[in-house]
Chain A
Amino acid sequence: MSEAGKTFTPGAGGKGKKQDVASPEQPSQKKKLSKAEKRKLRMEKQKEQKPDANQPDAPSVKQPEKKSDVPQKSKAELKAERRAKQEAERAAKLAQKGEMPSTNQGSTGGQTKPRSEIIKKERPRVSDDIKVDDPSVLKRRAKKLEKQQVPQRIDSEKKVNLFNHLDQFERSISLTKELSFSSGGIHPAIVMLGLQYAEGYICGANSSFLNQCRPKSVSMGNAIKYVKMQISNIPQDKSDTEAKSLLCESIDSYIKKKIYLADDAISNILIGNKKIKDKDVIMIYGCSSLIVRILCDAHEKEEIKFRVIVVDSRPKQEGKEAAKRLIRCGVKCSYVLINSVFYMMPEVTKVLLGAHALLANGYIMSRVGSSLIAMVAKSQNVPVLVCCETYKFSERAQTDSFVTNELGDPDDLVHSNSSVDYLRNWRSIKNLTVLNLVYDVFPPELVSMVVTELGMIPCTSVPVVLRVRNVEG
């Protein structure tokens, strides 16, 4: 895996950068599969390759002894390890909390212990992912990562104050320079996956290493939850190979059911209920594989005569990809930038948006810019339809885009099509910060309908689906 050792250099040409991280498959192919599927594939690979570690020749030839220290662990041992780690973390947390009040008040030693207990109870549980400005959290995270031999990304020095609580990483530092091949905890496929996530090749997220590369994403979270549940459901008496094949099967069926079949169902529901009619002008934003597929189906199978307006925005410019695919299918397209959305909206009969996640309070989390489109549509009474598979439903509730979000690389915004990069030295300018948000959140009042594989539901019924799904397991 020679790519793993490459350093990333800034200013090596904005577009050229992406090509540095060569992957065995073509980038365009990668984008066709969604994030959850990637994660699944990697997990499968990991499971498959674990038995190889058992064979005596492989480790001794390639890797130093550290790998043999990590033999095929049984599930019980893994669980025990995890528990031990949690205990260690809890102890570390208590110790730190015990430190802080004592340094602040210099009170007697006897008082600190009960104080820390009280403080611990009073403090509401806020996820560590969004407390990056708290030094104790940083310390804790560093310790945890050290234990797992995962290199920590250097936090960006210059951040917008409002977003201090989110991670923003410098791309310039190599993630894997410190990562020796001897680190048994991480399979090389995961390393590759992690790097690809970091580059934004695949847009999605999970697990401690991947967490460093790119913070959590909802669909990943759900997928991982499912896999973990499957792992815990496997009876102890099954042999490891049997268990692995069972797991692979269940992962496969998860992918198939929740992703492929769901996409089929959504497409059929939309088209079958004649939500796309002749003479429709449909506006889409960015590139959602599901939306593109729905439109291609409507055009090819039902021969409905409609046209599409593709709205695009920087820095990702995914709309170009969407437009390309639609044109290949023969759909009539117009391509506009997000600046002209208000101008185009009177022509539009409906807006189709994809979603990254649907939150428990009915809010939709989607690519940044979607809320703008939804607001403009609402102001002109254009119906907004959101298409989303149920695996993207989250139990989190959020009302604005600040609480959790991803911060993309600000340098993406710096490089523009013009020949002069005016913002090249933004770091040295004292009062200037560059912010590149990835997601935004908008309320259910802006959305007319959500289409899932269960049918067409109003945005406010998301918690109902969550409840029904939890009952089914």
Chain B
Amino acid sequence: MNRQEAIDYFQQKVEENTDLSAAIAAIHTLIEYLKLNEAATLAELRDNLQNCIKWLKDTDSSTTAITSGCELFLRFITLTALDQSNFADCKTVLVERGNMYLKNVAGARDKIARLGHPFIRDGATVLTHSISRVVLKVLLEAARQKKRFKVYVTESNPDRSGEEMARRLNEAGIPSVVILDAAVGYIMEKVDLVLVGAEGVAESGGIINKIGTYQMGICAKASNKPFYVVVECFKFVRMIYPLNQQDVPNEFKYNASTLRDGLDLTKEHPLIDYTPPAYITLLFTDLGVLTPSAVSDELINLYL
């Protein structure tokens, strides 16, 4: 499987099922690559997998999600010893483990929805940012539990993805309103809680998400409203510990194509921002409901 084939497979997976996270699509691609790869030793196989990950990061999909998902996947499949004598057997075992990992994370969003919906009480007003499939799932689950609530969604420029979110919520019968990004401070006194997704969770417990999340966090804190984040556990990124906005690596902030074209980054708009853990009340993950300081705990357990 060469570079173009891998990227095609990945794009295909993304288009096939729009509900799929970019990370999951990447993991599917890695498993497929693993099956077709002709490496003769484990070391070569590992190198090839790393290459494949680099190719995937080069597409314009969310780099953060791909990075975290792939690293965790690699870690998971190489975690225990491989004592098969035949290399082909080794590969089969790895593919098996890969599929098992996928099965584990497939149920992630359901688990999160189950954990998260009790926090939305009857009669509540929720504020969310841009479009997030996990947040959508949580809200739909809450509606299924016969709770009545209202949702404000920010328009989220430049791609105006908030409108898509509002459309889906309205279809499901949840009254939702699109507001300007600039109106977050204005609307904060009307809402009871803020619920956002995340593209990545840093080791500090802070999150990386669509630009505009950070100011929502600051407004929420200033108005004493709880700020909840819903995120799957494969989005925990290791070795990313930003001290401030400038400290976030450029490959997360900008599209791969922007970086490739060598444009002047001081004039480009970043796509994401970093919300420090001080502004986050709780994270709902499939590992449970965590405080930001527990994220590091979980990462240490996962990686050490």
Please determine whether chains A and B interact with each other in the same assembly.
Answer: yes
- Residues on A lying within 8 angstroms of B by beta carbon are 273, 275, 350, 381, 383, 385, 445, 448-449, 454-458, 460-461, 464-465, 468
Contact B244 A273 (CB under 8 A): no
Q: Is B296 an interface residue (CB 8 A)?
A: yes
CA distance A254 to B278 in the complex (A): 37
CB distance from A444 to the nearest CB of B (A): 9
Contact A449 B293 (CB under 8 A): no
Interface centre among A350, A449, A458, A464 (most CB of B within 10 A): A458
Q: Is B243 an interface residue (CB 8 A)?
A: yes
A275 contacts which chain B residues (CB < 8 A)? 243, 247
Contact A458 B205 (CB under 8 A): yes
Contact B243 A449 (CB under 8 A): yes
Whether A449 contacts B244 in the complex (CB less than 8 A), given A457-B296, A458-B277, A461-B297, comes out as no
A457 contacts which chain B residues (CB < 8 A)? 203, 296, 300
Lowest 9 A-B CB distances belong to which pairs? A460-B293, A383-B243, A461-B296, A456-B241, A464-B297, A458-B204, A458-B296, A457-B296, A448-B243
Contact B244 A464 (CB under 8 A): no
User: Residue on A with the closest CB to B241?
Assistant: A456
Q: Is B43 an interface residue (CB 8 A)?
A: no
Q: Is B239 an interface residue (CB 8 A)?
A: yes
CA distance A456 to B244 in the complex (A): 15
B278 contacts which chain A residues (CB < 8 A)? 445
Given A458-B293, A460-B293, 4 extra CB contacts under 8 A: A445-B278, A456-B241, A458-B292, A461-B297
A-B contact pairs, 20 of them (CB 8 A): A350-B243, A381-B244, A383-B244, A385-B243, A448-B204, A449-B241, A454-B304, A455-B203, A455-B239, A456-B239, A456-B241, A457-B300, A458-B205, A458-B277, A458-B296, A460-B293, A460-B296, A461-B293, A461-B296, A465-B300
CA distance A458 to B239 in the complex (A): 12
CB distance from B273 to the nearest CB of A (A): 15
Interface centre among A350, A381, A461, A465 (most CB of B within 10 A): A461
CA distance A460 to B296 in the complex (A): 9
Main SS of chain A's interface residues?
Answer: mixed
A381 contacts which chain B residues (CB < 8 A)? 244
CA distance A150 to B31 in the complex (A): 70
A273 contacts which chain B residues (CB < 8 A)? 239, 241
CA distance A454 to B297 in the complex (A): 13
CA distance A410 to B278 in the complex (A): 40
CA distance A105 to B239 in the complex (A): 65
CA distance A461 to B299 in the complex (A): 11
CB distance from B10 to the nearest CB of A (A): 28
B174-202: CB near A (< 8 Å → 1, else 0) gives 00000000000000000000000000000
User: Residue on B with the closest CB to A272?
Assistant: B239
CA distance A455 to B297 in the complex (A): 12
Whether A456 contacts B304 in the complex (CB less than 8 A), given A273-B241, A449-B241, A461-B296, comes out as no
B:229-267 near A, CB below 8 Å: 239, 241, 243-244, 247
User: Residue on B with the closest CB to A457?
Assistant: B296
Whether A458 contacts B300 in the complex (CB less than 8 A), given A350-B243, A383-B243, comes out as no
User: Residue on A with the closest CB to B206?
Assistant: A458
CA distance A445 to B278 in the complex (A): 9
CA distance A449 to B205 in the complex (A): 11
CA distance A275 to B304 in the complex (A): 23
CB distance from A161 to the nearest CB of B (A): 37
B:265-284 near A, CB below 8 Å: 277-278
CA distance A455 to B243 in the complex (A): 15
A460 contacts which chain B residues (CB < 8 A)? 293, 296
CB distance from A291 to the nearest CB of B (A): 17
CA distance A120 to B287 in the complex (A): 45
CA distance A464 to B303 in the complex (A): 13
Contact B304 A449 (CB under 8 A): no
CA distance A147 to B76 in the complex (A): 59
B247 contacts which chain A residues (CB < 8 A)? 275
Contact B203 A458 (CB under 8 A): yes
CA distance A406 to B292 in the complex (A): 34
Select which of B204, B241, B304 is within 8 A of A468 by beta carbon: B304
Contact B293 A468 (CB under 8 A): no
CB distance from A283 to the nearest CB of B (A): 14
B292 contacts which chain A residues (CB < 8 A)? 458
B293 contacts which chain A residues (CB < 8 A)? 458, 460-461
Contact A456 B300 (CB under 8 A): no
User: Residue on A with the closest CB to B297?
Assistant: A464
CA distance A454 to B239 in the complex (A): 11
CA distance A385 to B297 in the complex (A): 19
CB distance from A81 to the nearest CB of B (A): 41
CA distance A445 to B243 in the complex (A): 14
A445 contacts which chain B residues (CB < 8 A)? 278
CA distance A220 to B204 in the complex (A): 30
Contact B296 A464 (CB under 8 A): yes
User: Residue on B with the closest CB to A459?
Assistant: B293
User: Residue on A with the closest CB to B298?
Assistant: A464
Select which of B239, B243, B244, B300 is within 8 A of A461 by beta carbon: B300
CA distance A452 to B296 in the complex (A): 14
Interface centre among A275, A381, A460 (most CB of B within 10 A): A460
CB distance from B36 to the nearest CB of A (A): 34
CA distance A465 to B205 in the complex (A): 16
Select which of A448, A449, A464 is within 8 A of B300 by beta carbon: A464
CB distance from A105 to the nearest CB of B (A): 50
B300 contacts which chain A residues (CB < 8 A)? 454, 457, 461, 464-465, 468
Contact A456 B203 (CB under 8 A): yes
A458 contacts which chain B residues (CB < 8 A)? 203-205, 277, 292-293, 296
User: Residue on A with the closest CB to B239?
Assistant: A273
CB distance from B300 to the nearest CB of A (A): 6
CB distance from A351 to the nearest CB of B (A): 11
Interface centre among A275, A448, A454, A465 (most CB of B within 10 A): A448
CA distance A276 to B247 in the complex (A): 10
CA distance A433 to B173 in the complex (A): 73
CB distance from B113 to the nearest CB of A (A): 28
CA distance A329 to B289 in the complex (A): 48
Interface centre among A350, A449, A455, A468 (most CB of B within 10 A): A455
User: Residue on A with the closest CB to B276?
Assistant: A448
CA distance A449 to B247 in the complex (A): 13
B203 contacts which chain A residues (CB < 8 A)? 455-458
CA distance A70 to B286 in the complex (A): 64
CB distance from A467 to the nearest CB of B (A): 9
